[in-house]
Amino acid sequence: MELWIDLARPDTEDGASLQSRIAGQLRALMLGGHLTSGSRLPATRELAQQLGVARVTVEAAYARLEAEGYLQRRVGAGSFVSPMATPLSPPLVQPCKTPPPLSTRGAAVLTTARRRDHPERLPFNAGCPDLRAFPHALWQRLLAQCVRRHGPALGDYGDPQGYLPLREAISDWLAQSRGVRCTPEQVVVLTSSQQAIQLAATLLLDPGDAAALEDPGYLGARAALSAAGARLQPIAVDAEGADPASLPVDLACRLIFLTPSHQFPLGHALSLPRRLAWLARARESGAWIIEDDYDGEYQYERNRLPALQSLDRDGRVIYVGTFSKTLMPSLRLAYMVLPGELAEQFTVARHGFDGHSAQLMQAVAAEFIQRGHFTSHLRQMRQLYRSRRDLLLECLGPFDDVVTPLASETGLQFAMRVPAELEAAVHAQATDAGLVLRRLSTLHLGEVHAPGWLMGFAALENQVIREATARLGTLLRRCG
Ligand SMILES: Cc1ncc(COP(=O)(O)O)c(C=O)c1O
């Protein structure tokens, strides 16, 4: 064990002998809880060598700590922290009582951002794929192969734009599955969709610029746009998705955030006339459209809709996708497809902010896609999730006097309308009943706050869906 002992530390008494300084710092490590009962200390010879002092000096420090009861020394075994050496409470270093003041930008971030505060797997938490159904053994094999074949190269700094074989796999995949028209040079691999939206907001918006986003909409986008100092302009949403007619005609918008395949949170797909209208608006006003295609791979009906980007002839759409829903959230891999010069500019900025994404996982993801495993995994997940969606809708049937599920053709969750009194009252009791009901009314930006919940189903086994819906039914009756 290498111990951090600094004999010249300013808090060590100048006049104190070397052995007192060593003993004092070891004592502080024990009282601070950093060297816990039973930990083995380095041999005196080893520590003396590390500190550049005589062995007798360390020997004297250990003997002193032993006499004070902090150390137990056993011949032939070594020196151990005694069970009597319990950390001081409160600890030596006191946490700051008042949080340090933040910048205006920092404070703006904290008004919209939040820390995840509930276990992901509780019913009906939204946005969760079923990780038990993921082919972990296959992933592990591919991982071992990648390490064997490219280990040292993958351990180095990587291309900030993303590992080339992964960018190739993504561009082929997006062309086949989502109709996206791109080359690997237009793809940038990132940690998350959130990082993509944040990069776009940082690079494309000046403080005070207007940015339009769906209302209700994705809080992550709202956080990124408001942190960039944008003036947020709500876009009304109905059964055809985001309505371009709800934006003032003369509003000069620099950026428009849309979820065309599966409006977050209400779930509708953007209709073709509206797709064309948004593209025309972007063309005429020079605005950028961010297309967040966060779960567009999970379309359960026969005629699957391609991405909005497939219709873009003017290079105004920035397409964003994530492996959080199609592979695993913990991978922290997402991608954006950028028109023209933007790909290079975003790559340089990304490099400036945080370098690049983990190379090894990019290599495994590339193999997974190129060998066809992604296609079959998604095919299986679509089947599994569709059946779970059907079961949840069926289980909610008996409560159709109070709950109204909305569009459920796509995604890992659907939205459900409930009367306003029930939205709040049931939500207040949901945690105790082991349920997560994300409130739709909290996702609004403008004046209207239409009530309802997001109902995640993809990660829930059939029995869990039945039991959880029964519990929800009890709450609905109790609060109704
Ligand atoms: C609309 C929307 N976009 C993006 C994401 C998240 O993707 P990532 O994990 O890549 O940031 C989510 C997650 O739930 C989402 O709901």
The tens digit of pLDDT for each residue in 25-44 reads: 999 899 888 899 999 999 99
Closest-CA residue to 258 (of 234, 227, 229, 223): 234
CB atoms within 10 A of CB 443: 22
Number of H helices, E strands in the chain: 14, 14
Give pLDDT, residue 12: 60
Q: 74: buried, middle or exposed (CB in 10 Å: 19+, 13-18, 0-12)?
A: exposed
pLDDT for 1 beyond 80: no
Give pLDDT, residue 202: 97
For a mutational test of ligand 1's pocket, the pick from 125, 194, 263, i.e. the residue with the most ligand atoms closer than 8 A to its C-beta, is 194
Give pLDDT, residue 282: 98
Q: What is the distance in A from the centroid of ligand 1 to the CA of 329? A: 9
For residues 415 and 265, what is the distance between their CA atoms, to the nearest angstrom?
A: 6
Evaluate whether 255 touches 288 at the Cβ level (below 8 Å).
yes
Evaluate whether 277 touches 243 at the Cβ level (below 8 Å).
no
Evaluate whether 157 touches 356 at the Cβ level (below 8 Å).
yes
**Amino acid in position 113:** A
Nearest CA to ligand 1 atom 2: 294
**Per-residue pLDDT tens digits for 44-94:** 999 999 999 999 999 999 999 999 999 999 999 999 999 988 887 766 666
Give pLDDT, residue 115: 81
Give pLDDT, residue 414: 98
Give pLDDT, residue 32: 86
Closest-CA residue to 337 (of 329, 346, 326, 328): 346
Name the strands in the sheet holding 438-439, side by side, starting at the edge strand that comes first in the sequence. 404-405, 413-417, 453-456, 438-439
**Per-residue pLDDT tens digits for 364-376:** 999 999 999 999 9
For residues 53 and 50, what is the distance between their CA atoms, to the nearest angstrom?
A: 8
- Rounded to 5°, the CA angle 208-212-213 comes to 130
Atom of ligand 1 nearest to the CA of 264: 1
Ligand 1 pocket, residues with Cβ under 6 angstroms: 127, 192-194, 218, 220, 259, 264, 292, 294, 322, 324, 329, 334
Name the strands in the sheet holding 210-215, side by side, starting at the edge strand that comes first in the sequence. 187-190, 334-337, 317-322, 288-292, 253-258, 210-215, 231-238, 241-242
For a mutational test of ligand 1's pocket, the pick from 322, 326, 333, i.e. the residue with the most ligand atoms closer than 8 A to its C-beta, is 322
**Per-residue pLDDT tens digits for 264-320:** 999 999 999 999 999 999 999 999 999 999 999 999 998 899 999 999 999 999 999
Neighbouring residues of 168: CB distance < 8 A, sequence distance ≥ 6: 184, 366
Give pLDDT, residue 94: 62
- Residue 299 is given by DSSP the state B
**Per-residue pLDDT tens digits for 429-447:** 999 999 999 999 999 998 8
Atom of ligand 1 nearest to the CA of 192: 10
Give pLDDT, residue 73: 94
pLDDT for 456 beyond 60: yes
Biggest CA–CA distance in the chain, Å, is 85
CB atoms within 10 A of CB 453: 28
SS3 content of the chain, % helix, strand, coil (to 5): 45, 15, 40
For residues 194 and 201, what is the distance between their CA atoms, to the nearest angstrom?
A: 10
For residues 313 and 151, what is the distance between their CA atoms, to the nearest angstrom?
A: 41
Give pLDDT, residue 120: 61
Q: What is the distance in A from the centroid of ligand 1 to the CA of 376? A: 23
For residues 328 and 335, what is the distance between their CA atoms, to the nearest angstrom?
A: 14
**Per-residue pLDDT tens digits for 319-360:** 999 999 999 999 999 999 999 899 999 999 999 999 999 999
pLDDT for 11 beyond 70: no
**Per-residue pLDDT tens digits for 194-249:** 999 999 999 999 999 999 999 999 999 999 999 999 999 999 999 999 999 999 99
List C-alpha distances in Å: 366 to 144, 360, 378.
Answer: 14, 10, 15
Atom of ligand 1 nearest to the CA of 334: 10
Return contacts of 401-405, CB within 8 angstroms, 24+ apart.
Answer: 402/476, 402/480, 403/476, 405/455
Instruction: DSSP for 270-290, please give it.
Output: PPHHHHHHHHHHHHHHT-EEE
Atom of ligand 1 nearest to the CA of 323: 10
Evaluate whether 329 touches 361 at the Cβ level (below 8 Å).
no
**Per-residue pLDDT tens digits for 107-142:** 888 887 778 765 668 999 999 999 999 999 999 999
For residues 353 and 360, what is the distance between their CA atoms, to the nearest angstrom?
A: 20
For residues 342 and 317, what is the distance between their CA atoms, to the nearest angstrom?
A: 11
Closest-CA residue to 38 (of 3, 72, 62, 89): 72
Q: Residue 440 corresponds to which tokens in the numbers above?
A: 């739709």
Q: Residue 9 corresponds to which tokens in the numbers above?
A: 């530390």
pLDDT for 263 beyond 90: yes
Q: What is the distance in A from the centroid of ligand 1 to the CA of 413? A: 13
Q: 75: buried, middle or exposed (CB in 10 Å: 19+, 13-18, 0-12)?
A: exposed
Closest-CA residue to 330 (of 199, 191, 138): 191
Q: What is the distance in A from the centroid of ligand 1 to the CA of 313? A: 26
